Chains A and B, each alone.
Chain A
């Protein structure tokens, strides 16, 4: 069966490329003239669709899953998340299918924003899903954390094969109870987990809310996890699975990134290799060691011969984890806070983060549309502030000039990071964002 929409969509894609346009237009065209295109194309994949969702770490985790599966010899289709998810996937598919509409891939691994989750999984029930966490994020869009948990639960309910859950996040782990375990159509459940000694570095949202000394509600006994992160070193980590502990070198930095590696490993092990083969452990570990962070999530660039780390912060737990994962000693620090829609409009979240770890060295530079909200927050935590400039370009230039002989670190919200990367690309090589 030959669909007219594919050649036409591909043509629009070429034309819009020539005109320097984005990816949405061809997706829109195909969506309009052939609404079943995405669904039909994804349905041809022998291993189906795997979706990765949760509030923090989706992009890096999706990248890890893709690289782990590729290490097993699988051909993987994946997406970059965009403003319109379905349209973005349709556009990306157009780039990959042949003129007959066939996709040359074994599996699709898709990063699914909570906002688009329900719409997508209703159209395309995934065979696998990986649900990372439910943290305070984008509250002004969804209203409530519990609602986010419901969205993730809906993804799990639509999953036909295996659901991979974060054992340490009660709102995610609890989803298992809703899947009708033991009944005919229930998906399999697998968990990824943390060693008790690392638990304190991962506040779930209930703990985040508790003040010091208030007892954390007693946790129910934990289920066994397929993969447990046992230890995180300076550039290596220990994972336990199949009854043994393996150490591996890691390019990834930051405890939360490495916990997401345990998540990716669990999903990759559930999927396995081609034709039902079990995953090859040696190859998985080699791939894991090589995974580099995705765009902006704890990424290191070089400026004046010294590292400049960009750490994306978008909610209280992410900011806390960022501060904890990247110790301030020896680094010059800048913080850039914007309040555009993609950053979250409400600045209340800054007050849920403790900045005591920056007290010794202070913060050299503040920037972004809400730089003074950040300054006020630091003042109340007794953290010294160097300079404040709401304009990102001059603030960044002053920061780089002022800390010439020091490695640098910038904590920034999403749109502030885009602006910083744009500026940095003028002076250093920055990975192109598509």
Chain B
């Protein structure tokens, strides 16, 4: 159940809305996509990831149910896929305590193979800890065996990653925390352009079970449909046993990738 949008006097809403479905509910089944903390952790177009998952589910013949979880909410049942975004420092402070109380639940879901995508700020908080420049330690929820250290250096620009699972992953990074991976995770890939996790080892992102974590912002999925379809396929197989894909038209995605790949860092 997607919550209704707040009414504004002239009927337009500034909240994000899914375009209306053009056919009555396709018959392959329903997938519940949960956005984690969209109110506080959504600064660089993270809505794009939720929208892409919902629309591609439709194009594959499934019905998306877009849910959200914000600080203090009850955690919904029967979630099939989780997506969480980046935030600025103030947003991370707001969600920190709430996230710690949900940590064990999220860890169980991840261990159980639930597909998740966490970007930037939530990537960091899904790790073991974030140590700030002043030495303060912000505990993470430990879903991922990674640790992050704040720095004075901001890593900004276009990124191209070679991923063994997803081919070339394209995006944009903007972060000053630097993350290093422990033995229980593997990187999403190695950077061909841009910095990624940190300025020394040439790795970007982290993989654990069906969790994908990345510094590539906000709208990572639109230009990386292979990654989006991995999350969708995993969610569908986990719920229904098998996945029959539809035929999304990725002409624009292919062209957007070609042009993005040619842009300078």
Residues of A at the B interface (CB closer than 8 Å) are: 136, 139-140, 143-146, 197, 200-201, 203, 207-214, 216, 316, 320, 324, 339, 345-352, 354, 356-357, 359, 369-373, 375-377, 379-382, 388, 390
By the criterion CB–CB under 8 Å, are B259 and A372 in contact? yes
With A143-B174, A201-B8, A320-B14 already in contact, 18 other A-B pairs whose C-beta atoms are closer than 8 Å: A143-B154, A145-B88, A146-B89, A200-B10, A201-B10, A203-B14, A211-B16, A212-B4, A212-B16, A213-B68, A214-B68, A345-B158, A348-B45, A351-B48, A352-B45, A354-B17, A370-B260, A380-B55
Q: A201 contacts which chain B residues (CB < 8 A)?
A: 8, 10
Q: B263 contacts which chain A residues (CB < 8 A)?
A: 339, 345, 369
Cβ distance A340 to chain B, nearest Cβ, rounded Å: 10
* Closest residue of A by beta carbon distance from B47: A351
Known: A356-B17, A372-B256, A380-B51. A210 touches B172 (CB 8 A): no
Residues of B at the A interface (CB closer than 8 Å) are: 2-6, 8-10, 12-17, 19, 22, 35, 38-40, 42-48, 51-52, 55, 68, 70, 88-90, 154, 156-158, 172, 174, 176, 217-219, 222-223, 249, 252-253, 255-256, 258-260, 263
By the criterion CB–CB under 8 Å, are A212 and B13 in contact? yes
Q: A345 contacts which chain B residues (CB < 8 A)?
A: 156-158, 172, 263
Known: A143-B174, A376-B222. A357 touches B12 (CB 8 A): yes
Known: A212-B3, A376-B252. A348 touches B44 (CB 8 A): yes
By the criterion CB–CB under 8 Å, are A207 and B14 in contact? yes
* Chain B binding surface, main DSSP class: loop
Known: A136-B43, A145-B88. A379 touches B16 (CB 8 A): no
Cβ distance A261 to chain B, nearest Cβ, rounded Å: 20
Q: A350 contacts which chain B residues (CB < 8 A)?
A: 45, 48, 219
Cβ distance A155 to chain B, nearest Cβ, rounded Å: 20
Cβ distance B72 to chain A, nearest Cβ, rounded Å: 10
By the criterion CB–CB under 8 Å, are A214 and B15 in contact? yes
Q: A349 contacts which chain B residues (CB < 8 A)?
A: 44-45
By the criterion CB–CB under 8 Å, are B14 and A211 in contact? no
Give Cα A266–Cα B26 distance, bound, in whole angstroms.
Answer: 55
By the criterion CB–CB under 8 Å, are A375 and B16 in contact? no
Known: A146-B89, A200-B8, A211-B35. A347 touches B219 (CB 8 A): yes
Give Cα A20–Cα B146 distance, bound, in whole angstroms.
Answer: 57
Of A207, A211, A346, A372, the contact of B255 (CB 8 Å cutoff): A372
